[in-house]
Amino acid sequence: MRFLYKNGLICFFIGIMFLTLFTGCGLIPKEEAAIAPPPIEVPVVEYETVTAKKQTIQTLITVRAVFVSVTQQSISFKSRSGYIKGIYVKKGDKVAKGKLLAELDSDSMAKQVELQKISVQIADIDYQTKLSDTKTSEVDRQRAELNLKSEKIKLDDVQSEMEKTKIYSTVEGEVISLDDKIKQGDKIDTNVNFITIADPKQVNLQYIDEKKSSGFLPGSVVSVDYNQKTYNAKVVMSDISAPADASDDTKKIVYFKFDKMPDRFFIGDGATITYIKEKKENVIVLPKKLVSNYKERNYVSVVENNVKIEKDIQIGMSNDSEIEVVAGITEGEKIVLK
């Protein structure tokens, strides 16, 4: 009986142990499966681009020129200084060739001329008398003749000096400038230009190329903007066509001749000259700012398959804002803006 009791207790405790083991495993919470991280989306980079295309590129030269007469005279007293007796023209006057323009005070010289004319008359009377007098020796006649010639030469000299106090127009034209600071009674020195006369029928445009670097080719056509109208003209002279022995000042002058003159203009007016120095058509042209350079390398950034890459290029002509691409990219490629 006692044996059965012990065996029963042993079986009871063994059952409790097994029950605890199996039920204990059910009480432990199961580990949850690891959660995969969300996929990383790579953002698509959008580039601001321009499309490479073929067009025209040109190099322009723009300068200001002035109307000048082909036949023009600057007036000054060349041989004598003195006080101005009179100025006989004003700006805008039409003058004929040989017109008296101005003169210096020459009252004292005028008296010398009159006195010399009297001397010539006296010498002539003496000569005529001796020529008709049969009693006059040949020597006296010759002396009288030589004296007359001498007095006439003196008259020519004083009259010549008298003429130096006057200036005349050597061309037919118009007074285009007159120094209004010079008045009657003012003292004036030699070689002071104070009157300019020009022929308004023969007019060119003139540009002074101080650096002699504009490159105007004789015969080239230019456009002229004047008074809100456009005209055509041709280069008729530049430093390229100037004679080898021409002065430096002459080599700086560029002349343009109108195909058809404006109906109304004024000598000295300004006009804008535009000259196409170089031009290429149907070539790939890019804005200059898109081209990078490092030492001798020129390159641009392009987009291929949504990726920005660099491409080396060969460049041609350029102007202030554009550049020609000779090789390295083709029409239609997307060029990345900087």
Strand-strand pairing, 229-237 and 221-226: antiparallel
Looking at residue 4, its pLDDT comes to 46
Gyration radius of the chain over CA positions: 51
Q: Which of 101, 197, 117 is nearest to 157 (CA)?
A: 117
How far is Cα 30 from Cα 27, in angstroms, rounded to an integer? 9
Candidate from 10-14, 109-113, 311-315 with smallest mean pLDDT: 10-14
Produce one character per residue of 289-300: b if its CB has 16 or more CB atoms within 10 Å, e if not.
ebbeeeeeebbb
Q: Bridge partners of 253?
A: 208
Q: Which pLDDT tens digit goes with each residue over 12-54?
A: 556 556 555 555 555 455 556 666 677 766 566 788 899 999 9
How deeply is 240 buried, as exposed, middle or buried, from its count of CB atoms within 10 A (0-12, 13-18, 19+)? Answer: middle
Those residues with Cβ within 8 angstroms of residue 98's Cβ, 6 or more apart along the chain or in another chain: 168, 169, 170
Please tell me whether the overall predicted TM-score, pTM, comes out greater than 0.75 for this model.
no
More confident residue, 244 or 252: 252
Q: What's 289's DSSP letter? A: G
**What is 67-125 written as a DSSP string?**
EEESSEEEE--SS--EEEEEE---TT-EE-TT-EEEEE--HHHHHHHHHHHHHHHHHHH
